[in-house]
Amino acid sequence: MAGFEELASEVLALCKASDLMLATVESCTGGMVAAALTDIPGSSSVVERGFVTYSNQAKNELVGVSNKVLEIHGAVSEPAARMMAEGALLHAPVALSVAVTGIAGPGGATETKPEGLVHFACARTGRDTRHARIEFGALGRAEVRRRSVIQSLEMLRDMAEKP
């Protein structure tokens, strides 16, 4: 995907150096993070799979986000993002994952969950899962998604670095 090559290449190089396979779990980005990574030649030595979990049912069935978390906190929440990222480690032969879930807009916003709100989580075997909550604002669907890809790649890069 245009504009993400340098950051995606950096993620892949760090993962390759640490012998890490990764997975993405994406809702509002619909596979854009995986696409940014797999646009780079040689990415198959690092990218194992991508889960597009747009619906609550997909989040539950594919990566084990509990229905209770979805009912209590909703899909756009820290607990859901954390379960998505951690679920990838359990449902794929990977040691690193990133999850993104949010409201790209237009529409879908509520009083407590505004348009442009996105939750991210990055999980790595043997480390604490990291979470970020960003309110990009009502910048338009394309811009919220673009910024979400950048944030996801940055989190992968940071988590792929040696401790």
What stretches in the chain show pLDDT beneath 70?
Answer: 1-2
| The pLDDT of residue 162 | 74
| Measured distance CA(141)–CA(101) in Å, rounded | 13
What integer pLDDT is reported at residue 1 of this predicted model? Answer: 54
The answer to whether 19 and 45 are in contact (CB under 8 A) is no
* 83/123 Cα distance (integer angstroms): 10
pTM of the model: 0.96
pLDDT at residue number 67: 98
- What's the pLDDT at 92? 98
Helices H / strands E in the chain, number of each: 6, 5
Helices (H), the chain: 5-17, 32-38, 56-63, 67-72, 78-91, 141-160
Task: Return d(Cα 138, Cα 5) in angstroms, integer.
Answer: 26
